[in-house]
A and B are shown apart, each in its own frame.
Chain A
Amino acid sequence: MSLFLYLDRDSPLHRLHPVVKVCGMLCLFVAAFVSDRPTVVLPVTAGVAGLIALVGAWVNVHRLRVLFVMVFIMTLLIWSLFYRGGVPIAAWGPISISAAGMQFALAMALKLVTFLSIGVVFLSTTKIEEFAYALTRVGMPYKLGFAMTMAFRLVPVFIDAAATVVQAQRCRGFNFDEGGVLQRLQRYVPVIVPVFMGALRRADGMAMALEARGFQSNRPRTSYEQYNFGARDTLALVVAAAVVGAYLALWYLGYTSVPIV
């Protein structure tokens, strides 16, 4: 199993400077975030969908389709039923539906799906090393960035280890599904201990292997990947800034919130 969505392709988005990718992602997030009206979110959603098409990242959307659909439907349902402030069309006790509520719910659902899509675009086009590089460029210490990339790499490893341990203990007649909540927590000891001890052993081995590759040599580091800031990056930044600027202006002028009907 893998946590990575990265697609090894050569799209215009892939070629952007890592810092520009991070900035662009943040701009799109802000633009989607300030909009509470479906018609206002929709252009962002459409834009991001365009980017997905540009990158060819529909594979990843397909991989996450269950998540997309669940998020959309659940958000739509919950906000339609629990939105307060509109004029009720129908009501069952404390629950009511209003036109404003439904508009808001649709906006929220679109917004969350847009967030997910922005994430997909970013992760499909950015290697974890690039992400770490971008963060160090804006001031994060190198070792922290490295720790972050390692965390990404190790999570699947530990999930695999845990799955094996669960199987090993099941082979010894161990049943996880017995007892109350507290008992169940206690019952996880035979899984947690081996996984944890394995993690410590692994950490120890990695620390030595890192050292053997010169991790603490204290010489000035170089970078194999040369990220050059080019015209494409400038253009991307201008577009991103224009989008976020426009949305902030709309928000400031009050065009992004749901009108009370």
Chain B
Amino acid sequence: MTSRADGEAICLEHVSFTYPGQTVPALRDLTLSVRAGEMVVVMGATGAGKTTLAKCLNRTIPAFQPGTLSGTLTLFGRRLVHEGVADLAGVVGLVSQDFEAQLFATNVVQELAFGMEQLGVPPAEMRRRVPDALAAVGLTGFERRDPATLSGGEKQRLAIAATLALAPRLLVFDEPTTDLDPLGKLEIFDVLGTMRRHGYTLVVIEHESAAAAHADRLVILSDGRIVLDDRPERVLGQGEFLRTHGVRPPDLSGIALGLGLTPPPRTVDEAERALKDRPARDSSPGLPEASRLEAGWTYPPAHQGFVWVAGGLSLRTGADTRKQSFHPPTRAAVHEPVASPRAGAGGAPPLVEAANVSFAYDAGPPVLHDVSLRIDAGAFVALIGQNGSGKTTLAKHLNGLLRPTAGSVRLAGQDVHGLPLNRVAADVGYVFQNPDHQIFASTVYDEVAFGPRNLGVAADVEARRVRAALDAVELTGCEAADPFLLSKGHRQRLAVASVLALRPRLLILDEPTTGLDYCEQRRMMDLLAKLHTDGLAIVMITHSPWVVAEYAERGVLMGGGRILFDGPLRDLFAREEMLRQAHFQLPDVTRLGLRFGFTPLTVAEFVDCMTAADPTSLSADR
């Protein structure tokens, strides 16, 4: 639509911004120049100033947000002084993370028309622009749909189309994929690629390094400053640097570093070719360690297993003890796939057992079809599958929030619907996806104490439990703080603490890492790993491939309201085709490993298996 124009699209000079009441500026003396037609991806930890930057670009700051702003912003040669947000509506489009808050109409065409009506675009022109904008985001044919009936990815694409219809020359995306499932994310990344080809100037703020695939430049922000601004492949190769700035380095750059591949491969195909073309170090890619992986041997959890060091990757245990880093099969790894819930029963009764559960909301179509799931003490289960596959619905059965239309759910042998609420809440904790759906108290202490008080525990027990729960999530010292003023990462951990205070034996979490940066995600997951070590059973619903790969022991894949697979995680990850059909994106390292005939879950495992030089020395180590 817009032709690629030469010249400068954005020129920020010495821009600083401080939120009211803050002493530390959110942006510090930031200078950035973006040429027209360029695509720039901006990454960085929470609080680095990414969203503040986006808001400056469309004048939400200073128009909506009080604070101290200095410096100058020039867009397409026009220096902005008094312009408000709406004055720039046809120049800058801003698409934010919260797609629900960006839709206002009752059908798709009206949604596109809404902005154009505000700007006084003549009706004939509107009729020309609507099909173009819909085609650009792949929503042709959706004209008369009610936006409320669209999927998350479709809603976000509609929000993009509605912005495109205003014919802006610059588009700013503020974490457009954060609230989407993997399929939705891919849809948006595709749209970004298309728009780049159309010559739009794009500024994309993202947590996922996959967004940088199409970019010309990748900018890393830290504490309101640009700390790196370079071509994406150069930035993404710097693992340790990315980590400290809240970005998860791509698997492939870790592999390139660990195996000394230059230039670093950009795709799994490239990596495969590069590895197969390497001069062979032993006659076959014999991968003796790989066969152990398949036999159920594992590394210690990857988050403890290796560290990044300058210039390379090494195992924390040291290179010469590497061969001992394999562990014998764990309990979870030999867990039998649960074909029938009673089949695996041996010894202790399961914590929770759903037997032949079917469920439908009101008169709607069935959401679960004859699902059976058994959760034993000490389990660490990842519940995966695309949106609408029934994950959350199944999880809500495990603590009796929903009542099955057929089948039963038993908690320690008793029907969950015969038990009093208190009893269930004290056994099965459930952390909702959005912590803001439960936070209501005026202090952190009261928030955490709410659960124990509902159970009617004595005051001293309450105090002890609150202390222990806050300690577990590392929020000790925040007792008197106002929960609403905490950061998202802190609120998420507070939500976990407030459920832990009930002392459950099973903790269910719905998307515990959504909306957090990489450091916060690590922290949340390490917290869960620690709780698991201390004996808590964990069931987490998640879309994040690496979170599943590095933390879960057992994988349950759902699709169309049925369990498609239930078994050890490595067995699940070996079924690439099944996962692909369920729209679950395997980690790159696993995809690459599968082409060499084994199923690595982490970069460290892959690197180790590929560098194992002497097959015979391994068995001697046992």
Shortest distance from the beta carbon of B101 to any chain A beta carbon, whole Å: 4
A159 within 8 A of partner (CB): no
* Interface residue from A153, A172, A219 paired with B118 (Cβ < 8 Å): A219
A194: chain B residues within 8 A (beta carbon): 436-440
With CB as the reference atom, state the residue of chain A lying closest to B63.
A211
A220:B421 contact, CB within 8 angstroms: no
- Number of contact residues on B: which range applies? 35 or more
B401:A167 contact, CB within 8 angstroms: yes
With CB as the reference atom, state the residue of chain A lying closest to B144.
A8
A161: chain B residues within 8 A (beta carbon): 437
Contacts A212-B93, A217-B87 given; does A167 touch B117 at CB 8 Å: no
Scan B211-226; emit 1 where CB is below 8 A from any A CB, else 0.
Answer: 0000000000000000
Docked complex Cα distance between A167 and B399 (Å): 11
Identify the stretch in A38-46, A196-204, A238-246 within 8 Å (CB) of chain B at 4 or more residues: A196-204
A127:B106 contact, CB within 8 angstroms: yes
With CB as the reference atom, state the residue of chain B lying closest to A162.
B437
* Interface residue from B86, B110, B121, B148 paired with A222 (Cβ < 8 Å): B121
Interface residue ranges of B108-127 to A (CB < 8 Å): 109-110, 113-123, 126-127
With CB as the reference atom, state the residue of chain B lying closest to A127.
B106
* Interface residue from A170, A208, A212 paired with B401 (Cβ < 8 Å): A170
B64: chain A residues within 8 A (beta carbon): 207-208, 211
With CB as the reference atom, state the residue of chain B lying closest to A226.
B123
A222:B425 contact, CB within 8 angstroms: no
A224:B113 contact, CB within 8 angstroms: yes
B101:A198 contact, CB within 8 angstroms: no
Docked complex Cα distance between A128 and B107 (Å): 10
Docked complex Cα distance between A161 and B101 (Å): 14
B426 within 8 A of partner (CB): yes
Name the residue in A194, A198, A206, A208 with the highest tally of chain B Cβ atoms < 10 Å from its Cβ.
A208
* Interface residue from B87, B120, B127, B434 paired with A221 (Cβ < 8 Å): B120
Identify the stretch in B246-254, B447-455, B527-535, B600-608 within 8 Å (CB) of chain A at 4 or more residues: B447-455
* Interface residue from B87, B114, B450, B454 paired with A213 (Cβ < 8 Å): B114
Contacts A202-B101, A222-B116, A224-B110 given; does A172 touch B450 at CB 8 Å: yes
A149: chain B residues within 8 A (beta carbon): 104, 106
Contacts A213-B89, A215-B118 given; does A197 touch B113 at CB 8 Å: no
Interface residue ranges of B129-182 to A (CB < 8 Å): 144, 146, 148, 162-163, 166
B584 within 8 A of partner (CB): no
A59: chain B residues within 8 A (beta carbon): none
A173:B421 contact, CB within 8 angstroms: yes
B399: chain A residues within 8 A (beta carbon): 171
Interface residue ranges of B405-432 to A (CB < 8 Å): 421-422, 425-426, 429-430, 432
Contacts A168-B432, A173-B454 given; does A214 touch B438 at CB 8 Å: no
Shortest distance from the beta carbon of B586 to any chain A beta carbon, whole Å: 31
* Interface residue from B96, B118, B122, B437 paired with A214 (Cβ < 8 Å): B118
Docked complex Cα distance between A175 and B64 (Å): 40
A66: chain B residues within 8 A (beta carbon): none
- Number of contact residues on A: which range applies? 35 or more
B590 within 8 A of partner (CB): no
B90 within 8 A of partner (CB): yes
B444 within 8 A of partner (CB): no
B102 within 8 A of partner (CB): yes
B454:A6 contact, CB within 8 angstroms: no
B94 within 8 A of partner (CB): yes
B123:A214 contact, CB within 8 angstroms: no
A8: chain B residues within 8 A (beta carbon): 107, 144
A221:B117 contact, CB within 8 angstroms: yes
Docked complex Cα distance between A172 and B499 (Å): 6
B58 within 8 A of partner (CB): yes
B1 within 8 A of partner (CB): no
A171:B499 contact, CB within 8 angstroms: yes
B120:A220 contact, CB within 8 angstroms: yes
B421:A4 contact, CB within 8 angstroms: no
Name the residue in A127, A217, A218, A223 with the highest tally of chain B Cβ atoms < 10 Å from its Cβ.
A217
Shortest distance from the beta carbon of A196 to any chain B beta carbon, whole Å: 9
B117:A211 contact, CB within 8 angstroms: no
B63: chain A residues within 8 A (beta carbon): 211
With CB as the reference atom, state the residue of chain A lying closest to B113.
A224
Contacts A153-B106, A171-B499 given; does A214 touch B115 at CB 8 Å: yes
Shortest distance from the beta carbon of B66 to any chain A beta carbon, whole Å: 13
A209:B96 contact, CB within 8 angstroms: yes
Shortest distance from the beta carbon of A138 to any chain B beta carbon, whole Å: 19
- Selected A-B contacts with CB under 8 Å, 17 pairs: A127-B107, A157-B100, A165-B438, A172-B450, A172-B498, A194-B438, A206-B104, A207-B64, A208-B64, A210-B104, A211-B63, A213-B114, A214-B90, A217-B87, A217-B118, A222-B121, A222-B123
| Known pairs A4-B106, A201-B436 / 20 extra A-B pairs, C-beta < 8 Å | A149-B106, A168-B438, A170-B421, A173-B422, A173-B455, A174-B421, A175-B454, A194-B438, A202-B98, A208-B96, A212-B85, A213-B104, A214-B86, A214-B90, A215-B118, A217-B86, A217-B120, A224-B109, A224-B113, A224-B126
List the 4 closest pairs (A to B, CB-CB), nearest first. A224-B113, A214-B89, A173-B454, A205-B101
